[in-house]
Amino acid sequence: MTAIAAVRCGRLQLKSSLCKLQNWSSSSLLSSRSFSDSASVTTESQKQQIQEASPPPIRVGFTESAGRGVFATRSIKSGELVHTAKPIVSHPSFSSLQNHNVCYFCLKKISSQHAVSFCSSQCRDQAQAFYDIERKVSWAAFDDYCRNKGLKYPHLVKRLACMVISGVASADCLDILQPASLSSEMLYEPYLLQVNNLLRDCFTLTCPVLTKKWYTNVLARIRINAFRVELACGSYEDLLSSAVACVNSEAAIGNAVYLLPSLYNHDCDPNTHIIWIENVDARLKALRDIDEGEELRICYIDASMDHNARQALLSAGFGFQCCCLRCLSGD
Ligand SMILES: C[S@@+](CC[C@H](N)C(=O)[O-])C[C@H]1O[C@@H](n2cnc3c(N)ncnc32)[C@H](O)[C@@H]1O
């Protein structure tokens, strides 16, 4: 289903969801941060106050050809932090778990003896409810299968399932996001059935909402909305290569799905990028001056690829043909 079709099919639901999204202050998933790194702002506490006082200078609206998108409500300066976002769901990568080097909740770098460790008591507390569920189940078969097949999304589904069972997330929390169209061949791919069976078997204590339909719906949304989380190694600028989503990488510390960042459309010459400095909390920063009313777009893939490779990846991974100015120029 294309973006437009998805919007048409779910108009009523999307309208009410959009109203919720525009009500920034009531959304616990968004932090209302927006500030300029100007010289007049000198101290961290002043920055903090401004961040907390200002709503982000953006709104969600409909584009002409790419479904919903994010638009500037005022001019935004190059380098400005547009907003930050906490994930709806996240999970460390296999290599992070193997190397015991990230917090199991926020993905902050740590060094530990165990695959499951937390960087702070706050992270432990926030993870407690779903981790208690997770610990009741033996995941060995599920983990082995996913590792051998190189699958990362089922881990996001596994964590979301535990969050739903523990009551910290609702079963429909990803419904607002655009789903990928999963072809019938994909739906009946042996691995998908296998993972679904493994997941169902793991929940012998079963939650009635976690049906195969739930799993398929969640996976369809995760497929095009999950970000690969890669820390920016302390450098704030020149991070275009970090502004990628949904591509395989050994460097990734984990994967995560966010609400507002999922509504940014793609451009091969983006005006905004998404970066991670310390942990899974995402920062959306302007890459150049953006005019009021202009759409903010990020790059989903490695922008250094050539035209044909970019088009092929966007078509296969996200189901659209890119018509950005760079692609139209043949670059
Ligand atoms: C992560 S979502 C972005 C938000 C989406 N437009 C929505 O309404 O939820 C990715 C999807 O948006 C659409 N999209 C994003 N960038 C696009 C572009 N440059 N041209 C056409 N469609 C685009 C595609 O359908 C893609 O699968």
- Quick one: three-class SS letters along the chain? CCHHHHHHHCHHHHHHHHHHHHCHHHCCCEECCCECCCCCCCCHHHHHHHHHHCCCCEEEEECCCCCEEEEECCCECCCCEEEEECCCEEEECHHHHHHCCECCCCCCECCCCCCCCCCCHHHHHHHHHHHHHHHCCCCHHHHHHHHHHCCCHHHHHHHHHHHHHHCCCCCCCCCCCCCCCCCHHHHCCHHHHHHHHHHHHHCCCCCCCCCHHHHHHHHHHHHHHEEEECECCCCCCCCHHHCCCCCCCCCCCEEEECCHHHHCEECCCCCEEEEECCCCCEEEEECCCECCCCEEEECCCCCCCCHHHHHHHHHHHHCCCCCCHHHHCCC
So what's the pLDDT on residue 265? 97
- Ligand 1: which residue has its CA nearest to atom 8? 68
Q: Which atom of ligand 1 is nearest to the CA of 266?
A: 16
Number of other residues whose CB lies within 10 A of the CB of residue 328: 10
Options 3.40.50.2300, 2.170.270.10, 3.90.580.10, 1.25.40.10; CATH for 29-86+258-328 is 2.170.270.10
Tell me, what's the pLDDT at 196?
Answer: 75
Q: Which of 265, 268, 271 to mutate to test the pocket of ligand 1 (most atoms within 8 A of CB)?
A: 265
Nearest CA to ligand 1 atom 27: 318
**Among protein residues, the one whose CA lies closest to atom 7 of ligand 1:** 68
Dist. CA 60 → ligand 1 center (Å) = 13
* Residue nearest to ligand 1 atom 19, measured at CA: 266
Report residues whose beta carbon is within 6 angstroms of any ligand 1 atom.
2-3, 65-69, 178, 224-225, 262-263, 265-266, 318-320, 322, 324
pLDDT of residue 181: 78
pLDDT given for residue 235 in this prediction: 45
Backbone dihedral angles phi then psi of residue 136, each to the nearest 5 degrees: -80, -10
C-alpha 262 – ligand 1 centre gap (Å): 9
Q: What number of CA atoms fall less than 13 Å from residue 314's CA on the CB side? A: 24
Mutual angle of helices 212-225 and 153-166, in 10-degree steps: 120
Torsion angle of C-alpha atoms 212, 218, 222, 223, degrees rounded to 10: 40
Please tell me the distance between residue 326's alpha carbon and the centre of ligand 1 in angstroms: 17
CA of 302 to the centre of ligand 1 (A): 17
pLDDT at 43: 66
Nearest to 63 by CA among 264, 284, 315: 264
CA 327–ligand 1 middle distance (angstroms): 16
Q: What is the ipTM of this complex?
A: 0.99
Question: How remote is the CA of residue 192 from the centroid of ligand 1, in Å?
Answer: 24
Q: Where are the domains positioned within the chain?
A: 29-86+258-328, 115-225
Q: What is the pLDDT along the chain (331 residues), one digit of tens a residue?
A: 333 222 222 223 333 344 434 434 333 333 333 333 334 445 666 665 665 568 999 999 999 999 999 999 999 999 999 999 999 999 999 999 999 999 999 999 999 888 899 999 999 999 999 999 888 888 888 888 888 888 888 899 989 989 998 899 999 999 999 998 776 666 666 677 777 777 777 775 567 777 888 888 998 999 899 999 999 864 444 444 444 443 444 578 999 999 999 999 999 999 999 999 999 999 999 999 999 999 999 999 999 999 999 999 999 889 899 999 999 999 9
